[in-house]
Amino acid sequence: GQQLNQSPQSMFIQEGEDVSMNCTSSSIFNTWLWYKQDPGEGPVLLIALYKAGELTSNGRLTAQFGITRKDSFLNISASIPSDVGIYFCAGSTEYNNNDMRFGAGTRLTVKP
């Protein structure tokens, strides 16, 4: 099946620092999505990307859909304590738009 490799697995940063995480895939993706999961909750959508090269921002978050359609990154600028959580990349491939796959997640800890 389609494999999503997300890195890093975890990050420990100081409040105010910028963060970058990325996902790569063995297959071409039609959409790339970034979700955040707070403890005890389901993931919530942060940013959706629909075409290669697309760069989209949502407040302090910026994400890009890679030109090859096999990768995406998420940047968080000027981190704050409430950024703590698990960030997941997700996407669906050109073979089956109904089959959304998730990366293993990046666990972010922000020290005040």
The residues of the shown chain that bind other proteins, judged by CB under 8 A, are: 1, 4, 6, 31, 33, 35, 40-45, 48, 50, 88, 90, 92, 98-105
Q: Which is nearer to other proteins, 37 or 77 (CB)?
A: 37
Given the complex with other proteins, which of 46 and 76 has the nearer CB atom?
Answer: 46
C-beta closer to other proteins: residue 77 or 101: 101
Least separation in angstroms between CB 16 and other proteins: 27
DSSP string, the chain: ---EEEE-SEEEEETT--EEEEEEESS-EEEEEEEEE-TTS--EEEEEE-STT-EEEETTEEEEE-TTSSEEEEEE-S--GGG-EEEEEEEEESS-TT-EEE---EEEEEE-
Task: Kindly state the smallest distance separating residue 76's Cβ from other proteins, in Å.
Answer: 19
Tracing tokens 């491939």 back to the chain, one arrives at: 93
Closer to other proteins by Cβ: residue 60 or 101? 101
